[in-house]
Amino acid sequence: MAPDGPPSATGRAVSCTDLVKVFDASGDPVQAVGPLDATFAAGHTTALVGPSGCGKSSLLRMIAGLERPSAGTIRIGAETPRDLTRRAALAMAFQDAALLPWRSVRSNVALGLSLARQPPDAARIERLIGLVGLAGFNDRRPAELSGGMRQRAAIARCLVSAPELLLLDEPFGAVDELTRRRLNRDLPALWQGTTAILVTHSVVEAAMLADRVLVLSPRPATIMAEIDIPLPRPRDEDDAALRDRIAAIAAALRDSGPDRVLAAQ
Amino acid sequence: MTAPATRRVARPAVPVVRVGPLAWRVLGVVGLLLAWEALARLNAGSYVLAGPVAVAIHGVEHAGLLGRALRATLVNAAWGFLWGNLAAIGLAAVILLVPRLERLLVALALLVFCLPLVATGPILRVAYGPGDGPQIVLAALAVYYTTLLALLVGLRAVPRSWLDLVESYGRGAGAQLLHVRAMAALPYLAAGLQIAAPAAILGAMVGEFTGAERGLGVLTIRATRALDVDATWTIALLAAGMAMAAYWAFGALLRRVASDPPALLLAPPGPALRRGRRRGAAGAAVMILVALALWQGGMDALGLNSYFAKRPGDVLTFLVTGPEAASHRATLLAAYAETLAYTLPGYLAGLALGAGLACAITLAPGLAAVAMPVAVALRSVPIVTTAPLLVLALGRGSVGTITIVAVMIFFPTLVACLQGLRQAPGDVIDIFASYATGRWRTLVLARVPAMLPAFFAAARMGVPAAILAVTTAEWLATGRGIGSLMALTASTSDYNMLWSAITLVALTAALAHTLVARIERAVLRVYGPEQLAR
Ligand SMILES: Nc1ncnc2c1ncn2[C@@H]1O[C@H](COP(=O)(O)OP(=O)(O)OP(=O)(O)O)[C@@H](O)[C@H]1O
Ligand SMILES: [Mg+2]
């Protein structure tokens, strides 16, 4: 664990059993997920990759308790997602960062504490902003930040409440390639020890960040392949062993169905 | 609706126009004044137009009187503005926390907004006795509905992820309101207040028309009765000037809270009727029953004297089951028909002229930059306050009334359509340009469809405005139609007829509003589906 990382919570294992999600708003049901079985090991980072529209966000939102499963169960430790949110023990980073534009960076990070009903802790907020590399931008508004800086602020907001489960939905979707590389290298240390589930379109990102990659089928999402990445961190994108894993993920994705994945640079 | 979409729809309403050097502006104003004065002198004997010199002289000679009246009107308008907007904020909060109530509450709010002010005024006068109560209530009634709509749009114009963020910490609707929606709605509230500011002045003045001791409305009535052209012009200009000043003041406030102010006329219609005709009809029936129950229950609860506060049963007896019901109906319907004959042509003409001029302006680029600020400024003038001028100019016949209605509809429609025409996405226009499509075809194929949502929003909001305009004109000046019937019955204490007229007018307005909203929704389904999504 990084010596000056955030005090890490005890990670929780997540297990999904026979999980199904069917959207039926307009009388024309769409099955987005499942039936899907998966476990996410405690304290590990797992990446979900799959073709666009296959149901990754739906899966993540169910685990976050934002969406109810149509069938099947989700257990986080022994609890349901709702139990976890009620304790404010999980945090989610959204694709669009979801920073409130009228709040400064500091105040947006502080929101992570106040929404979790934790007492304000200026020193901790300051430290996390520093850890994501935004020191000196405490008083800036989101509009004054670049896309990557916004994502980092959002991640600081997630981490400030020391969640037991971290859910990241394409957190670096809006980031340029260079910044993304730097984030991929630096950020994982911040949530080491926490269970993290990461949705991404980038095969490279999955390999850089995750301990294990789950390749999903086209909609409805089911698990097509599992690829372990037992490599030490920090990782190097040009490392041969990592390249090998990247190739394996890309191959699994190609086999999984129509190849509409954007990545595999 | 997601905020990015809204933000895109909500491009700034007014292009920043650099008016040339000061000298040009001064020259323009002087030229205008000279033309006005010349016109007035040419028409000297006709009792229509007072020139700037006459207005100035009248203003100076009666400065004390005008000042006191202006003060009284502004104070009443301010109180009404405060209460009306507080009511709107309260209603919006209730709707947000209990979404099930939305259709019912918004429909009831619309129904109350459709009550003809010129009839509610005298009834309030009886209930309150002398004093400022009626003016304040009418000012509040004139503002709360638009503010409510603005707030409802604003409270929802929030990206899904901001709400999910709050929910993912296990927090509910209250925390979403506190942390996210309240702040996100501020620009919309400010935009709503901007529209409400002149409306409050209008409401207060209508309240003064119907029997107050002090205020610009009282002076207006006196001047109109005495055919005092100088006074009529001075008062109307003063009222219009105040309304414009209020509009600009709140515009400045708006620009402080929002760098990209939302265009409120583009507010989409309320939530769609439930699927299925039968459920829609059932919903309407429930609504009518609730309205009737509130009418009866409210009056009973307040212990209002049934001499002037007629209940639904009284109206039913008067119009249907009573001995002379047939003749009452005949009187009411004759006046109603007369009013409709003024309102409909005026309403349609206002819409057509507004949309037509907007298109014409777009065909002649460059003109828009000039026309837009003028239109925005004139939109803020409550036309009713200038109704006496139009009556002076056009006479008490049908032309005058139809013109008043048309003008009342014209400016908001023009502004909305100009905003709408600019919504046509730049890249679509570029595609047309790349095929060397002519201006006309581009207008028809790309711009007009983009304008439709704004046009229909204006048409919808124009319904209560048209009713207000026509009843006020009839009340003040023409002596015909249902407005005049209301004036007559109010002065002869024929409260059964007055309440019957109120019911008929409010129902008509609410139905017309619903009809336009229906057409609007059908059109939006094709041309602007993102406006209907929630
Ligand atoms: N609220 C909803 N109502 C109806 N259908 C939905 C809803 N949310 C998602 N869907 C449908 O479920 C399917 C999966 O959507 P989801 O957002 O989970 O995909 P995704 O894998 O995250 O895609 P992307 O990679 O493009 O973000 C899609 O077909 C989508 O249309
Ligand atoms: Mg997604």
Chain B hits for A60, Cβ within 8 Å: none
Cis peptide before B271 (omega within 30 of 0): no
Residue B479 domain-assigned?
A: yes
Closest Cβ–Cβ partner in A91, A96, A100 for B168 = A91
- The yes-or-no verdict on residue A34 having pLDDT over 90 is no
Q: In this complex, do B170 and A88 lie within 8 Å of one another by their Cβ atoms?
A: yes
The answer to whether residue B33 sits within a structural domain is no
φ, ψ of residue B531 in degrees (nearest 5) = -75, -20
**Is the separation of the CB atoms in B471 and B339 below 8 Å?**
yes
Mean pLDDT of A177-204: 82
Selection from B46-55, B93-102, B472-481 with the highest mean pLDDT: B93-102
Poorest-confidence range of B70-84, B144-158, B276-290, B374-388? B374-388
- The answer to whether residues A15 and A85 belong to one domain is yes
Verify whether ligand 1 is closer than 6 Å to residue A57 (CB atom). Answer: yes
Q: What is the pLDDT of residues B239-289, one digit of tens each?
A: 888 888 888 888 888 777 766 555 554 444 444 444 445 556 777 788 888
Per-residue confidence (pLDDT) for residue B438, from 0 to 100: 65
The average pLDDT across B277-305 equals 79
Q: How many Cβ atoms sit within 10 Å of the Cβ of residue B343?
A: 26
| Closest Cα to atom 16 of ligand 1 | A55
Residue B24 domain flag: no
Report residue B382's pLDDT band, with 50, 70 and 90 as the boundaries.
low
Instruction: Looking at mean pLDDT, say which of A256-260, B237-241, B327-331, B349-353 comes out highest.
Output: B349-353
Q: For residue B30, is it within any domain?
A: no
Give the pLDDT score at B253: 81
pLDDT at B39 over 50: yes
Q: In what order do the strands lie in the sheet with A223-228?
A: A90-93, A165-169, A195-199, A45-49, A212-216, A223-228
Q: How many domains does chain B have?
A: 1
Q: For strand A71-76 and strand A14-23, is the pairing parallel, antiparallel, or unpaired?
A: antiparallel
Residue A175 located in a structural domain: yes
Tell me whether residues A88 and B164 touch, CB distance under 8 A.
no
Work out the average pLDDT over A68-94: 89
In the prediction, which pLDDT does B441 show? 66
> CB of B136 within 8 A of CB of B159?
no
Does residue A50 sit in the same domain as residue A85?
A: yes
Asked if A87 and B171 come within 8 Å (Cβ–Cβ), the reply is no
Mean pLDDT computed over A130-134? 84
Ligand 1 center to A54 CA (angstroms): 7
Cβ-based contacts under 8 A for chains A and B: 50
- With a cut of 60, say whether residue A1 has pLDDT above it: no
Quick one: chain B helix, strand, coil %, rounded to 5? Answer: 80, 0, 20
Residue B114 — very low, low, confident or very high, per pLDDT cuts 50/70/90?
confident
- Check whether residue A156 and residue A113 sit in a common domain: yes
Tell me which residue of A253, A257, A160 sits closest to A207, measured CA to CA: A253
Q: From the centroid of its chain, how far is CA B108?
A: 17
Q: Which of residues A162, A197, A214 is at a domain's end? A: A162
Residue A209 Cα to ligand 2 midpoint, Å, equals: 18
Segment of A137-151, B343-357, B425-439, B462-476 carrying the highest mean pLDDT? B343-357
Q: Is the CB of A152 under 6 A from ligand 1?
A: no
Q: Is the pLDDT of residue A104 over 70?
A: yes
Judge if A28 and A115 occupy the same domain: no
Report which ligand 1 atom has the smallest distance to the Cα of A54: 21
B41 located within any domain:
no
**Mutation to probe ligand 1, out of A33, A57, A198 (largest number of atoms < 8 A from CB):** A57
Calculate mean pLDDT across residues B439-456. 72
Answer yes or no: is pLDDT of B338 > 70: yes
Same domain, A37 and A79: yes
- The predicted pLDDT at position B423 comes to 61
- pTM: predicted TM-score of the whole model, two decimal places: 0.77
Check residues A147 and B352 and name the one with the higher pLDDT. Answer: B352
Q: How far is the CA of A50 from the centre of ligand 2 (A)?
A: 10
Q: Band of the pLDDT at A264, cuts 50, 70, 90?
A: very low
Average pLDDT over residues B479-495: 85
CA distance B233 to B242: 14
Chain A contact for B168 (CB, 8 A cutoff): yes
CATH number at residue A175: 3.40.50.300
The whole-number pLDDT of residue B276 equals: 47
What pLDDT sits at residue A260?
Answer: 44
User: Which of B168, B171, B180 minimises the CB distance to A66?
Assistant: B168
The confidence score (pLDDT) of residue B14 equals 44
Mean pLDDT of chain A: 83
Q: Is the pLDDT of residue B291 over 60?
A: yes
Asked whether the beta carbons of residue B170 and residue A96 sit closer than 8 angstroms, the reply is no
Buried b (16+ CB within 10 A) or exposed e, B268-278: bbbeebeeeee
Within a domain: residue B270? yes
Residues B496 and B327: their CA atoms lie apart, in Å, by 13
- Is the pLDDT at A263 greater than 70? The verdict is no
Q: Which of A99-103, B10-14, B70-74, B462-466 has the lowest mean pLDDT?
A: B10-14
By CA distance, what is B163's nearest residue in A?
A: A98
Q: Report yes or no on B83 lying in a domain.
A: yes
Q: Which ligand is nearest to the CA of A28?
A: 1
Residue B82 has pLDDT above 90, yes or no: yes
Specify the higher pLDDT residue, B21 or B70: B70
Q: Is the pLDDT of residue B16 over 50?
A: no
Whether the per-residue pLDDT at B373 is higher than 50: the answer is yes
A77 and A28, same structural domain?
yes
Residue B161's domain comprises 2-18+51-531
* Nearest ligand 1 atom to alpha carbon A21: 12
Could you please report the per-residue DSSP string of A18-54? Answer: EEEEEE-SSSS-EEEEEEEEEEE-TT-EEEEE--TTS
- Ordered strands of the A14-23 beta sheet: A30-40, A14-23, A71-76
Confirm whether A2 is domain-assigned.
no
Instruction: State if residue A53 touches ligand 1 by the CB under 6 angstroms criterion.
Output: yes
- Nearby residues of B521 by Cβ (< 8 Å), 6 or more positions away: B269, B272, B532
**C-alpha distance across the termini of chain A, in Å:** 30
Q: Is the pLDDT of residue A254 over 60?
A: yes
Residue B400 has pLDDT above 50, yes or no: yes
pLDDT band at B377 (very low <50, low <70, confident <90, very high): low
Position with higher pLDDT, B108 vs B4: B108
Query: Which pLDDT band, with edges at 50, 70 and 90, does B443 fall under?
Result: low
Q: Is A245 in the pocket of ligand 1 (CB under 6 A)?
A: no
Considering the domain architecture, whether residues A74 and A182 belong to the same structural domain is answered as yes
A20 and A55: one domain?
yes
Same domain for A181 and A58: yes
User: Are residues A249 and A205 part of one domain?
Assistant: yes
Number of compact structural domains in chain A: 2
Q: How confident is the model at residue B528 (pLDDT cuts 50, 70, 90)?
A: low
Chain B residue with the nearest C-alpha to that of A166: B168
Residue B264 lies in a domain: yes
Residues near ligand 2 ion, CB 5 Å cutoff: A 57
Query: What pLDDT, on a 0 to 100 scale, did the predictor assign at position A4?
Result: 39
Q: How far is CA B142 from the centre of its chain?
A: 8
- B473 or B10, which is more confident: B473
pLDDT given for residue B372 in this prediction: 64
Residues A157 and A206 in one domain: no
Closest-CA residue in chain A for B162?
Answer: A98
Tell me whether residue A179 is in a domain.
Answer: yes
Confidence of residue B52 (pLDDT cuts 50, 70, 90): confident
Residue B351 sits in a domain of what CATH number? Answer: 1.10.3720.10
State the average pLDDT over residues B87-116.
86
A144 and A208 together in one domain: no
The pLDDT assigned to B263 comes to 55
pLDDT at B271: 45
**Domain assignment present for A67:** yes
* Most A CBs within 10 Å, among B168, B180, B189, B256, to test the A interface: B168
Per-residue pLDDT at B440:
66
- Mean pLDDT (chain B) is 78
Give me ligand 1 centre to Cα A27, in Å: 16
Looking from the CA of residue A60, the nearest atom of ligand 1 is: 18
ipTM attached to this prediction: 0.85
pLDDT of residue A191: 82
Residue A119 confidence (pLDDT) above 50: yes
**Residue A30 CB less than 6 A away from ligand 1:** yes
User: Is the confidence at residue B301, as pLDDT, over 70?
Assistant: yes
In a domain, A1, yes or no: no
Instruction: Determine whether the shortest distance from the Cβ of A29 to ligand 1 is under 6 A.
Output: no
Of ligand 1's atoms, which has the minimum distance to the CA of residue A170? Answer: 27
Closest by Cα among A187, A198, A192 to A8: A192
| Mean pLDDT of the region B85-105 | 88
Q: Does B179 touch chain A (CB under 8 A)?
A: yes
| Mean pLDDT calculated for residue range B403-423 | 80
At residue B230, the pLDDT reads 83
DSSP one-letter string for A151-190:
HHHHHHHHHHT--SEEEEESTTTTS-HHHHHHHHHHGGGG
Determine the structural domain holding residue A62 and report its residue range: 9-89+165-265
Q: Which residues pair with residue A79 across a beta bridge?
A: A76
Answer with the residue of higher pLDDT: A243 or A187: A243
| Shortest CA distance from A26: residue in chain B | B275
Q: Is A61 on the interface with B (CB under 8 A)?
A: yes
Closest by Cβ to B164, choosing from A66, A87, A88: A66
